[in-house]
Amino acid sequence: MKEVTKMTTHTFHKDTWELYKSLEMSKQLTAGETLSKLGKDYPEIVAMSSDLSKPTRLWDFGKEFPERFFNFGLAEKNMVTAAAGLASTGKIPFVSTYASFLGVLAAENIRTAVAYPNLNVRLIGTHTGIAMGFYGTSHHATEDISITRAMANMTVISPADGAALAEMIEESVKTYQGPIYFRVSRGREESVYEHNENKVQNKIGKANILREGNDLTIIACGIEVNEALKAANQLKEQGINARVIDMHTIKPIDTEAILNAAEDTGAVLTVEEHNVQGGLGSAVSEILMESDLNCKFKRHGFYDEYSLIGKPYHLYKHYKLDGEGIASVAKEFLG
């Protein structure tokens, strides 16, 4: 028993070190880098962290504009309320910490202090879903979409990668009004748009069709977009042509893209690293249920359960949220 404990502890520390090492080297968590560029032309931008400026990359902005960077320590709720106060004076606060501490822990403060008065606060919840692995279920954020999209005035965005996040952060500063919750992973995800040959632009509220198909539509968000593309490649080898849609904006959702996909393919599968209750799948189902289309539909994600603890790679495989798993779910769904 002692030997097992020792091995588990060693694995935990190794996984922790690899996580932080990758975060420091990663170009995917681009919030701080993007804000540093925008900060020169937009002096109203301020950034706020809760002792996690390194893994959330806000330290890039803090080094560039130390007088506009605020560290609140482990006081996420106070941080959100302070951001609301700054927004009421004309500032554009970017608040970032782990999604489990922001979209879940500070939910009441987001609702009452930010969403209710419809303030220009940008909330960036990082390390979403099961990305924290061995840190445990308390650090896994699988309810934050449900929580934030139920708040009036709140825009909810789950970008597929760092390039998409950068585009929509810039749009949010230049043209968008009202509170936004950005849901991003931990910075180790594969790129979808960084080397995009089609130069698809990520626009808030406008879904991206990344692959055409007429047998099935896979609608995904966040880290699952790339896995959905992998699944589509596997399905193609088996004679199934799957359309893949990146529904990065979950609220307001692209109704037209959903209805067109349902009409064209007759079958829609949603994939998310989130509880299927109230998440992307629920948002899509609401659109389909209010239409008169006859369409097969299935939600795939966490089936109203708390996630296990383990290495992220193994967890994604266990929950069939990798490319191979999504392909198997799609085949079973189509019968």
β-partners of residue 70 are: 48
Q: How far is CA 154 from the centre of its chain?
A: 15
Q: Residue 76 catalytic?
A: yes
From the list 44, 67, 76, 263, the catalytic residue is 76
CB 154 within 8 A of CB 252: no
- Alpha-helical (H) ranges within 91-210 are 99, 107-109, 144-149, 162-174
β-partners of residue 300 are: 271
CA distance linking residue 86 with residue 89, whole number of Å:
5
- Alpha-helical (H) ranges within the chain are 2-25, 31-39, 59-64, 76-87, 99, 107-109, 144-149, 162-174, 224-237, 255-265, 280-289, 312-318, 323-334
CA distance linking residue 20 with residue 55, whole number of Å:
7
Residue 89 half-sphere exposure, CB side, CA atoms within 13 Å?
Answer: 10
The SS3 assignment for 118 reads: coil
Tokens of 114: 């930010």
The residues that are catalytic are 76
